[in-house]
Structure formats: C-alpha cells, structure tokens
Amino acid sequence: MFLPHSDKEVNEILQRLGLSSLEDLFSHIEPSLLEPPKNLPEPKSEEELRRYFKELANLNRPLVYFAGGCAYDRIIPSAIWQILSRGEFLTAYTPYQAEASQGTLQALFEYQTLICELTGMDCANASMYDGGSALAEAILMARAIKGRGKRVVLTEGINPLYRQVVQTYLLGHKDEIQVVSLTEEGTTDLDRLEELLKDGECHIALANLLYMVLLGREGMREVAIQSLSKAMYLKEKLLSLGFEIPFSGKHLWEFPVKHPKAQELHQKLIEEGFLFGIRLDRFGYKGLLLIAITEKRTKEELDQLVERLRYNISHERTSSSTSR
C-alpha cells in the first residue's frame, strides 16, 4: 500500500470499486500463489551463495550462435568492459538529475553524434530500453512534430514483436497501422510505399530496419563485406542440403531458411552445441528459421554447422526408410 494514502482515502477507493478490502483486489489470483513459500532452505553465507550459483552456471552448455532477430553474438572489445566499470556508467540510470550524470550524458551525446554521422540523419535518440520501445517513441515523436494524419506505415521487414509494441503504444490514439509487404528479394515494396505516402497524411514511414555497430564507415564496410561473404557461403551450403531460401536477394548477415524438418533440426542442433537460428513458427511461418552470421563466426564453425546438419538430415532419411 502506498504510504500517503490515509485509511479514509483507502476506504473511499474501495467503496468506489465496490470492494470490501484490499485483499479483494487480488481475488482473481489463485490463492495458493499468494501464500508465502514453504520449506525454504536455511540462509547461506556470501561465499556459499557464490559457490552455489557457480555450480548452477557450470550446468550451462556454451552454444555456437547462429540466431537472428537481434539475438546476435557479437565481438565486444575488452575496452568496453573497462569503460563500463567506471562509476558514472556502472551505477548511473536514466539521467533525471543532470548535474550527477555528466558521464552518461556525454556518452549519449557522442553516441547520437556518431549515429547521425553514419546515417546522415538530422537527429538520433538514445537511452531507450529496447528496439520496440525506441521504434514506438520515434513514431510518437513524429506525431507530435507533424501534428496531422491518422496513419502509421511500417514495413513487414520490421521485427513483428516491435510492430506489436507500436500497436500497443497507439491504442489511445486510434491510429491506423498499415504494413508494407516485402518483395521476392526480401526488400520493402517501394511502389506500395510510395502509393501509401501520396496523400502525405501518414505520421511516419519506415523503409528499412538497420542493425548498425559503431565501427565508423570503414569498420562498418569491412564487417558488411565479411558478413555478406559468410552469409553467401552458408546459403550455398544450405541449398545443397535441401533447404529453401524464401528471398532471392543478397543477405548481409541475416536471412530466413525453410525446411520441412526445421523444428526437429533446431532442437537436435541445440543438443549438439549449435543454436541454429530463431524459430518463426510462432509468428505463423511454419518451417522457417531466421539465421544470422556475424563477424564472430568463423569458417570452421560454419563448416561444423553444415556437417552436423548433413549428418542429421541423412540420419533422418535413413530412419524413415528403415521404418517403412
């Protein structure tokens, strides 16, 4: 209960809600879930807790990541951890009190400056919680600046979870959300986008969702070339194993693949130490996996992945033939 509420105020609130006690606010919850936990172990010392959680951590098995959808396994320079250990970053939160958050504010300013230099855009936001809320906040900012229009245009290439966040943010505004489909090459249908923008009454149009790293122009170019080369190499190997590539265009480091046994292969490879993409069946795309190859993945790891896929697909065919 919030302390400033007096007993009189609490009773008035309960009366307006048609309730007799504060416990009635939680009557929809299973009673057993509200009971205090039973049979808790005895308290542990700091060292005992450290050992306990270390033992739990040792149960984790490291995986070689080929997961898309922003779950990227990236190279993080050692200097990053040293910088983040500084007090102004380690303990800082949202800089409500500017005079106590100069380190954070300076870092955000430098980040925004670099993003604008890399993209050529006039402004860039920072200090957002995640991609979904950042996208929704950008749309709200566009609404406030433009001040007219009741439509929001998004590309189908945007993460579907992000689109759901936008939909939630705009519930109160009752804006119409229109999604531009992708072409066979996997790019946004620009003809359809242009058609939707003709009347000029939409708040914002997003033609692409770009994943960038602050490497500078040359660094980004080098990473892009490496990722493109690795993606093309893996794509050719997967095609030879019977996978389908839904989009025919070039892929920078992330692309979908389709296979009738996609879910089974995904689970089997986890057991063998590979996180082979993100399953898209929960979004209605049956048999599709979203694959990503970042600069961290080596050719040896790509070949190991292909070899495990070849073995499991061959083993599946052999088992099916034997069962017949």
pLDDT digits (tens, 9 = 90+) for 140-181: 888 887 766 678 888 887 888 888 999 899 888 888 888 888
Instruction: Delimit the CATH 3.90.1150.10 region(s) of the chain.
Output: 216-323
Distance (Å, rounded) from C-alpha 169 to C-alpha 163? 10
Q: Which CATH number fits domain 216-323: 3.40.50.360, 3.30.360.10, 3.90.1150.10, 3.40.50.720?
A: 3.90.1150.10
pLDDT band at 18 (very low <50, low <70, confident <90, very high): very high
Distance (Å, rounded) from C-alpha 56 to C-alpha 49? 11
**Does domain 128-212 fall into CATH 3.40.50.300?**
no
Distance (Å, rounded) from C-alpha 2 to C-alpha 287? 50
What pLDDT does residue 14 have?
Answer: 92
Instruction: Delimit the CATH 3.40.640.10 region(s) of the chain.
Output: 128-212
Distance (Å, rounded) from C-alpha 175 to C-alpha 244? 37
The predicted-structure confidence for 94-145, as pLDDT tens digits, reads as follows 666 666 666 777 778 888 888 888 778 788 887 777 888 888 888 888 888 7
Compute the mean pLDDT over every residue in the chain, rounded to the nearest whole number.
79
Sequence-ordered list of residues with C-beta below 8 angstroms from that of 61, at least 6 positions apart, any chain: 273
Sequence-ordered list of residues with C-beta below 8 angstroms from that of 265, at least 6 positions apart, any chain: 259, 276, 309, 312, 313
Distance (Å, rounded) from C-alpha 146 to C-alpha 118? 25
151-155 and 278-279: which strand pairing? unpaired
pTM over 0.75: no
pLDDT(205) > 60: no
